[in-house]
Structure 1
Amino acid sequence: MNIGIDKMDFYTPAQYLDLVDLAQARKTDPNKYLIGIGQRQMAIPSLDQDAVVLAANAAEKILSTADRQQIGLLIVATESGVDQSKAAALFVQQLLQLSPYLRAIELKEACYGGTAGLQLARDFVAQHPQQKALVLASDIARYGLQTSGEVTQGAGAVALLVSANPRILAIAPDSVYQSQNVNDFWRPNYSQEAMARGKFSEEVYLKMFQNLWTQAQAQKLWQPADLQALLCHLPFSKMGLKAVRSLQGQLASVDYERLMRRFQASVQYGQVVGNIYTGSLYLSLISLLDHDTSLQAGDQLACYSYGSGAVAELFTGTLVAGFQEQLHPHSHQKMLAQRQRLTIAEYEAEFQQQLVTDGSAQELTQSDPTAPHYLTKVEAHQRFYV
């Protein structure tokens, strides 16, 4: 029985910052951003758009009435959670009007959380083939104004509906993974912004990729000649590019060139949305399928997932017949094209806004009228959504 991604979509806020504007404001050569890290724009969320809202807005795009009744497992993977105890999934369950008879949980392991959710969902469906699982990878990347990580911020969510006999991608049951305790990136409970050792994190990312690639070859999980594309977690596109480039000399030239060509298609959305942590790998999957029309049913894709701290996994999926009918490239391009470009002053003002934390009441207005959900107020230490 094949199990995998039956439907998928993404949502990102309706405003963005152009990185040329940011470079000029920070007195930096724009090519340091455009070429050096391979990014062009980054999404900027408003105060009414937290991880719950982003997740619910992504999910609304793919769920039918029947889907809502068949979902037996709801997972929100995030490192931007809104509560230390209560799962973001419970808020999302109510907003999406899902059946009460399901498991609703929140998962955390940095950017790896989305893959942890996908693999847990696959195992759930294997045991309950008549049910479906909904995985929502939702995050807001924040590093602070005028910090070294400022240019790699972003916001958005990816929704993955997992089922038996999927219509997009069948996930292979075997994969390779590795975990180790390293301090390359973290965010203490008392901090609104993440802390990172950028160069060290890149080294760990690439080392774990090479370890898993070698392990997969030793276990004969796949042959490089059979892989039609290699997708990577993309905190910024240059990071994934270095992973693909590390295979040069290990692969036949025709295989390396094929993976490199398709990698360029996979980064198109990430370059204008920015880093969305748990959803970044899956945004690259959507980008690849939207931009490369040469892919066919039966093609095998490799996916490298990485979460600082650190956990990594390398797994494969196979495109199924008719997958093209489940894609929505035109709606994605329309959503991105209609976003508002913020000035530096508007971006900095937006960034510095905060929700109250003293128990007082705070009313919020909806920043994206095209989206179905938003945070309407905070009162008595509780969040209220529409």
Structure 2
Amino acid sequence: MNIGIDQLAFSTTDYYIDMVDLAKARNVDPNKYLIGIGQSKQAVVPPTQDAVTLGASAAAKLLTPTLKKEITTVLVATESGVDNSKAAASYVKHLLDLPDFIRIVEIKQACYGATAALIMAKGLVALNPQEKVLVIGTDIARYGINTPGEVTQGAGAVAMIISTNPRILKLNQTSVSYSKDIMDFWRPLYSENAMVDGHYSTQVFIDFFKNCFGRYQQQTGMQLNDFDAILTHLPFTKMATKGLNGLLGDRDDKVAQRLRTSLKASQVYCREVGNLYTGSLYLGLISYLQNAPHHAGELIGLFSYGSGAEGEFFTGTLQPGFANQINDVQNDLNQRQKLSIKQYETMFNNQLGLQEKDIQFDTSHDKSHFILTGQKNHQRQYQVN
């Protein structure tokens, strides 16, 4: 039975800042951001958007009246949850006007969460082949203004339909998971912003990648030359480059060149948006599929990583006609509005966050389909346009 990703869509905010502008505002050489980190632009979140609205926006690009009736489960992976008890999937299901006879769950394991949801969805479909599962990875990466992690902020959501006879990527059987209890990145319950040991996290990422791939080789006998591409989690573009270099070492043959070229294609959209946390690997997959030549039957390796920490290496086989099942991301990115650094800082500081008072946002400037209008009696208020 073939099971995998049948449709893919991405959504982000209507606003961004230029990394050159941010570098100048922080008295930093722009090349530290453009080359050292590998970022050109960064999505900025207005107060009227959150992980729920972003996730619903991505999913809405996929849904038709028929598909709404066919979805049996909604899995929302996020580390930007809006409630410690109520699942973000509850809000998303309501905003999307999905039927009540449906399973809804929120999944959390840092940036690995969407892959956990993908694996769970694959299992559900294997048990009941008629099912279709909606998987959403949606997040807002926040580290704080004028902090070392500020340059690796970002926001957005990726939505996937998992089913039999997938039209984008057939998920292959063997996968390797690897986990340890470590503190490379975390966000305490009292904090709106994440905390990270950047250098340590990068090294852990590389180590997990090498361990997972090495185990995969032992189990399958496959080598680097068997892959058309190996894509990884993308908290910032340079981290993925370091990860692949950890596998390739000093190799500069045709195989190494092919894999580096494929990875570069996967980094195009991340460079323009920033960190998506749970959605990062899958935005990289979209970027690769839309920014490189392809042929049906390609073998694509995918390494998912979530701090704390968990990694998983798995593979997929590209299907014919995949291009028609993904929204035009570059076109969406071209429609965004550039902000000044002052405008960005105002938006950053005006988020709903952890405050408990009632608040009503001015929504007149937000033309999105789904909007967070504020909070009343400790309950988030949403609007569908």
Q: Tell me the CA shift for residue 250 of structure 1.
A: 8.0
1:327-383 deviation line (CA, Å, top 9, x unaligned): 333xx22211111111011111111113273342424415441x3111123100001
- The aligned amino acid for 2:266 is S
- The aligned amino acid for 2:374 is K
What is the rounded CA distance, in whole Å, between the counterparts of 1:221 and 1:67 in structure 2?
Answer: 39
Match of residue 335 from structure 2: 338
The reply to whether residue 307 of structure 1 matches residue 314 of structure 2 is: no
- The aligned amino acid for 2:282 is Y
Aligned equivalent of 2:379, options 356, 371, 382: 382
* 1:194-209 alignment, distance < 5 Å: 194-209=194-209
TM-score by length of 2: 0.97
* 1:43-62 alignment, distance < 5 Å: 43-62=43-62
Q: Which moved more, 1:109-118 or 1:251-260?
A: 251-260
Q: Tell me the CA shift for residue 249 of structure 1.
A: 4.6
C-alpha contact (below 8 Å) 2:8/2:327 kept by paired residues: no
SS at match of 2:173: coil
TM-score by length of 1: 0.96
1:86-135 deviation line (CA, Å, top 9, x unaligned): 00001111111112111100000100001001110111111111110000
* Percent sequence identity over aligned pairs: 49
- CA pair 367-224 structure 1, distance change in 2 beyond 3 A: farther
* 1:12-91 alignment, distance < 5 Å: 12-91=12-91
C-alpha contact (below 8 Å) 1:138/1:279 kept by paired residues: yes
Q: Runs in 1 of length 4+ with deviation above 4 angstroms?
A: 249-252
* 1:304-383 alignment, distance < 5 Å: 304-329=303-328, 332-355=329-352, 357-365=355-363, 367-369=365-367, 371-383=368-380
Match of residue 285 from structure 1: 285
What is the rounded CA distance, in whole Å, between the counterparts of 2:251 and 2:135 in structure 1?
Answer: 34
The reply to whether residue 110 of structure 1 matches residue 110 of structure 2 is: yes
Q: Which runs of 5+ in 1 are unaligned?
A: none
1:47-105 deviation line (CA, Å, top 9, x unaligned): 11110000000000011111111111101100000000000001111111112111100
Match of residue 5 from structure 1: 5
1:143-184 deviation line (CA, Å, top 9, x unaligned): 001100000000000001100001000111210010100000
Q: Which runs of 5+ in 2 are unaligned?
A: none
SS at match of 2:136: strand
What is the rounded CA distance, in whole Å, between the counterparts of 2:249 and 2:338 in structure 1?
Answer: 42
What is the rounded CA distance, in whole Å, between the counterparts of 1:223 and 1:354 in structure 2?
Answer: 47
What is the rounded CA distance, in whole Å, between the counterparts of 2:360 and 2:179 in structure 1?
Answer: 41
Match of residue 192 from structure 1: 192
1:191-220 deviation line (CA, Å, top 9, x unaligned): 000000000001100001111111111111
What is the rounded CA distance, in whole Å, between the counterparts of 1:19 and 1:312 in structure 2?
Answer: 29
C-alpha contact (below 8 Å) 2:75/2:136 kept by paired residues: yes
What is the rounded CA distance, in whole Å, between the counterparts of 2:168 and 2:376 in structure 1?
Answer: 42
